[in-house]
Structure 1
Protein backbone atom coordinates (compact mmCIF):
# COMPACT_ATOMS: atom_id res chain seq x y z
CA UNK A 1 0.00 0.00 0.00
CA UNK A 2 1.53 3.41 -0.96
CA UNK A 3 2.58 5.75 1.80
CA UNK A 4 -0.26 8.06 2.87
CA UNK A 5 -2.90 6.08 0.99
CA UNK A 6 -5.96 5.17 2.96
CA UNK A 7 -8.62 3.04 1.27
CA UNK A 8 -11.11 4.32 3.82
CA UNK A 9 -10.38 7.90 2.75
CA UNK A 10 -10.77 7.01 -0.94
CA UNK A 11 -14.21 5.52 -0.35
CA UNK A 12 -15.37 8.41 1.80
CA UNK A 13 -14.37 11.08 -0.75
CA UNK A 14 -16.45 9.34 -3.41
CA UNK A 15 -19.47 9.62 -1.17
CA UNK A 16 -19.05 13.39 -0.98
CA UNK A 17 -18.59 14.00 -4.69
CA UNK A 18 -21.72 15.34 -6.37
CA UNK A 19 -23.55 12.58 -8.18
CA UNK A 20 -23.25 14.45 -11.49
CA UNK A 21 -19.45 14.28 -11.32
CA UNK A 22 -19.50 10.58 -10.55
CA UNK A 23 -21.86 9.85 -13.45
CA UNK A 24 -19.92 12.02 -15.87
CA UNK A 25 -16.95 9.72 -15.49
CA UNK A 26 -19.06 6.75 -16.46
CA UNK A 27 -21.02 8.13 -19.40
CA UNK A 28 -19.70 10.70 -21.80
CA UNK A 29 -22.26 12.05 -24.21
CA UNK A 30 -21.36 11.85 -27.89
CA UNK A 31 -23.69 14.28 -29.67
CA UNK A 32 -24.90 13.53 -33.15
CA UNK A 33 -22.68 15.73 -35.24
CA UNK A 34 -22.62 15.48 -38.98
CA UNK A 35 -24.40 12.30 -39.96
CA UNK A 36 -21.18 11.02 -41.52
CA UNK A 37 -19.69 10.45 -38.05
CA UNK A 38 -22.85 9.08 -36.44
CA UNK A 39 -23.29 5.48 -35.40
CA UNK A 40 -25.61 3.46 -37.68
CA UNK A 41 -28.32 3.41 -34.98
CA UNK A 42 -28.08 7.19 -34.62
CA UNK A 43 -28.52 7.61 -38.37
CA UNK A 44 -31.55 5.32 -38.41
CA UNK A 45 -33.14 7.14 -35.45
CA UNK A 46 -32.40 10.52 -37.06
CA UNK A 47 -33.87 9.49 -40.41
CA UNK A 48 -37.05 7.96 -38.95
CA UNK A 49 -37.76 10.93 -36.66
CA UNK A 50 -37.04 13.44 -39.44
CA UNK A 51 -39.34 11.60 -41.84
CA UNK A 52 -42.18 11.23 -39.31
CA UNK A 53 -42.10 14.61 -37.51
CA UNK A 54 -40.22 17.13 -39.74
CA UNK A 55 -38.59 18.55 -36.59
CA UNK A 56 -37.27 22.08 -36.29
CA UNK A 57 -34.75 20.72 -33.77
CA UNK A 58 -33.45 17.19 -33.36
CA UNK A 59 -30.62 16.11 -31.10
CA UNK A 60 -29.60 12.51 -30.65
CA UNK A 61 -26.85 11.65 -28.18
CA UNK A 62 -25.35 8.27 -27.45
CA UNK A 63 -25.05 8.54 -23.66
CA UNK A 64 -23.76 4.98 -23.27
CA UNK A 65 -20.17 6.03 -23.85
CA UNK A 66 -20.21 5.12 -27.53
CA UNK A 67 -21.71 1.63 -27.16
CA UNK A 68 -24.98 2.56 -28.86
CA UNK A 69 -27.10 1.09 -26.07
CA UNK A 70 -28.68 4.22 -24.55
CA UNK A 71 -29.77 7.36 -26.39
CA UNK A 72 -30.99 10.78 -25.28
CA UNK A 73 -33.33 12.34 -27.85
CA UNK A 74 -34.51 15.95 -27.88
CA UNK A 75 -37.03 16.76 -30.60
CA UNK A 76 -39.05 19.88 -31.37
CA UNK A 77 -41.91 19.54 -33.84
CA UNK A 78 -45.25 21.15 -34.66
CA UNK A 79 -46.68 17.61 -34.66
CA UNK A 80 -46.65 17.77 -30.84
CA UNK A 81 -48.74 20.95 -30.53
CA UNK A 82 -51.70 20.52 -28.21
CA UNK A 83 -50.76 16.97 -27.22
CA UNK A 84 -49.97 15.94 -23.65
CA UNK A 85 -46.33 15.00 -23.03
CA UNK A 86 -47.23 11.32 -22.56
CA UNK A 87 -48.83 11.23 -26.03
CA UNK A 88 -45.82 13.05 -27.54
CA UNK A 89 -43.45 10.48 -26.07
CA UNK A 90 -45.70 7.63 -27.19
CA UNK A 91 -45.59 8.91 -30.78
CA UNK A 92 -41.78 8.95 -30.66
CA UNK A 93 -41.52 5.47 -29.13
CA UNK A 94 -44.01 4.06 -31.65
CA UNK A 95 -41.93 5.54 -34.47
CA UNK A 96 -38.77 3.96 -33.03
CA UNK A 97 -40.34 0.66 -31.94
CA UNK A 98 -37.85 -1.53 -33.84
CA UNK A 99 -34.80 0.45 -32.70
CA UNK A 100 -35.90 0.57 -29.06
CA UNK A 101 -36.17 -3.22 -28.96
CA UNK A 102 -32.44 -3.47 -29.77
CA UNK A 103 -31.12 -0.94 -27.23
CA UNK A 104 -30.98 -0.73 -23.46
CA UNK A 105 -32.86 2.54 -23.06
CA UNK A 106 -33.92 5.89 -24.42
CA UNK A 107 -34.53 9.27 -22.81
CA UNK A 108 -37.00 11.46 -24.69
CA UNK A 109 -37.57 15.22 -24.42
CA UNK A 110 -40.25 16.62 -26.71
CA UNK A 111 -41.15 20.24 -27.42
CA UNK A 112 -43.72 21.88 -29.68
Structure 2
Protein backbone atom coordinates (compact mmCIF):
# COMPACT_ATOMS: atom_id res chain seq x y z
CA UNK A 1 0.00 0.00 0.00
CA UNK A 2 1.42 3.38 -0.99
CA UNK A 3 1.60 6.21 1.54
CA UNK A 4 -0.03 9.53 0.82
CA UNK A 5 2.15 12.55 0.47
CA UNK A 6 1.86 15.16 3.25
CA UNK A 7 0.13 17.60 0.87
CA UNK A 8 -2.48 15.01 -0.18
CA UNK A 9 -3.15 14.07 3.46
CA UNK A 10 -3.50 17.75 4.40
CA UNK A 11 -5.93 18.37 1.53
CA UNK A 12 -8.07 15.39 2.55
CA UNK A 13 -8.05 16.50 6.18
CA UNK A 14 -9.19 20.02 5.22
CA UNK A 15 -12.03 18.59 3.13
CA UNK A 16 -13.17 16.24 5.88
CA UNK A 17 -12.96 18.82 8.68
CA UNK A 18 -14.29 21.86 6.80
CA UNK A 19 -17.92 20.79 6.70
CA UNK A 20 -18.38 20.03 10.43
CA UNK A 21 -16.48 23.16 11.44
CA UNK A 22 -18.59 25.37 9.20
CA UNK A 23 -21.73 23.67 10.45
CA UNK A 24 -20.69 24.17 14.07
CA UNK A 25 -19.93 27.84 13.50
CA UNK A 26 -23.31 28.38 11.90
CA UNK A 27 -25.12 26.47 14.66
CA UNK A 28 -23.28 28.34 17.42
CA UNK A 29 -24.75 31.67 16.38
CA UNK A 30 -28.21 30.45 15.42
CA UNK A 31 -31.24 30.88 17.65
CA UNK A 32 -32.98 27.87 19.16
CA UNK A 33 -34.46 25.35 16.76
CA UNK A 34 -38.17 24.51 16.81
CA UNK A 35 -37.38 21.23 18.54
CA UNK A 36 -35.28 22.93 21.22
CA UNK A 37 -38.06 25.42 21.89
CA UNK A 38 -40.69 22.68 22.12
CA UNK A 39 -38.64 20.58 24.54
CA UNK A 40 -37.83 23.68 26.61
CA UNK A 41 -41.52 24.60 26.88
CA UNK A 42 -42.46 21.09 28.00
CA UNK A 43 -39.73 21.08 30.63
CA UNK A 44 -40.73 24.54 31.92
CA UNK A 45 -44.30 23.30 32.29
CA UNK A 46 -43.28 20.09 34.09
CA UNK A 47 -40.57 21.66 36.26
CA UNK A 48 -41.95 25.05 37.35
CA UNK A 49 -39.29 25.39 40.08
CA UNK A 50 -36.43 24.98 37.59
CA UNK A 51 -33.79 27.69 37.83
CA UNK A 52 -31.99 26.49 34.70
CA UNK A 53 -33.27 24.70 31.61
CA UNK A 54 -30.94 24.41 28.64
CA UNK A 55 -31.86 22.28 25.63
CA UNK A 56 -29.38 21.78 22.81
CA UNK A 57 -29.97 19.85 19.59
CA UNK A 58 -26.72 17.88 19.28
CA UNK A 59 -27.78 16.15 16.06
CA UNK A 60 -26.93 19.15 13.92
CA UNK A 61 -30.41 20.63 13.95
CA UNK A 62 -32.49 17.67 12.74
CA UNK A 63 -33.99 16.94 16.18
CA UNK A 64 -32.74 13.37 16.49
CA UNK A 65 -30.66 13.90 19.62
CA UNK A 66 -30.75 16.46 22.42
CA UNK A 67 -28.69 17.40 25.43
CA UNK A 68 -30.69 18.69 28.38
CA UNK A 69 -29.34 20.51 31.40
CA UNK A 70 -31.91 21.19 34.09
CA UNK A 71 -31.51 22.48 37.63
CA UNK A 72 -34.58 22.27 39.84
CA UNK A 73 -35.72 21.95 43.45
CA UNK A 74 -38.00 19.13 42.26
CA UNK A 75 -34.89 16.92 42.14
CA UNK A 76 -34.06 17.47 45.81
CA UNK A 77 -33.56 14.23 47.78
CA UNK A 78 -33.90 12.13 44.61
CA UNK A 79 -31.18 9.91 43.19
CA UNK A 80 -29.83 10.75 39.74
CA UNK A 81 -31.68 7.86 38.13
CA UNK A 82 -34.97 9.13 39.62
CA UNK A 83 -34.24 12.66 38.36
CA UNK A 84 -33.63 11.32 34.86
CA UNK A 85 -36.80 9.24 35.02
CA UNK A 86 -38.72 12.43 35.82
CA UNK A 87 -37.30 14.14 32.73
CA UNK A 88 -37.97 11.07 30.57
CA UNK A 89 -41.56 10.95 31.82
CA UNK A 90 -42.08 14.63 31.01
CA UNK A 91 -40.77 14.06 27.48
CA UNK A 92 -42.23 10.59 26.85
CA UNK A 93 -44.06 11.57 23.64
CA UNK A 94 -41.14 13.55 22.19
CA UNK A 95 -38.65 10.78 23.01
CA UNK A 96 -40.50 8.43 20.63
CA UNK A 97 -39.13 10.45 17.70
CA UNK A 98 -35.59 10.88 19.05
CA UNK A 99 -32.49 8.83 18.46
CA UNK A 100 -30.90 9.76 21.78
CA UNK A 101 -31.01 12.02 24.78
CA UNK A 102 -28.31 13.23 27.18
CA UNK A 103 -29.66 14.39 30.52
CA UNK A 104 -27.79 16.37 33.16
CA UNK A 105 -29.79 17.19 36.29
CA UNK A 106 -28.94 19.01 39.50
CA UNK A 107 -30.41 20.71 42.54
CA UNK A 108 -29.74 24.46 42.94
CA UNK A 109 -27.01 25.25 45.45
CA UNK A 110 -27.99 27.61 48.24
Equivalent position of 2:96 in the other structure: 101
1:28 Cα offset (Å): 4.2
Cα distance in 2 for partners of 1:89, 1:57 equals: 15
**Alpha-carbon distance, 1:38 to partner:** 2.2
Q: List alignment gaps of at least 5 residues for structure 2.
A: none
Instruction: Kindly indicate whether residue 81 of structure 2 is the aligned counterpart of residue 86 of structure 1.
Output: yes
Q: What's the TM-score once normalised by structure 1's chain length?
A: 0.69
2:98 aligns to what SS in structure 1? Answer: coil
1:19 aligned partner = none
| 2:69 equivalent in structure 1 | 74
Normalising by structure 2, we get a TM-score of 0.70
> Which position in structure 2 is the counterpart of 1:4?
5
Residues 37-52 of structure 1 aligned to structure 2 (within 5 Å): 37-52=31-46
Q: Secondary structure of the equivalent of 1:93?
A: helix
CA RMSD of aligned residues (A): 2.8
- Matched residue SS, 1:56: strand
Give the distance between the partners of 2:105 and 2:98, measured in 1 at CA.
20
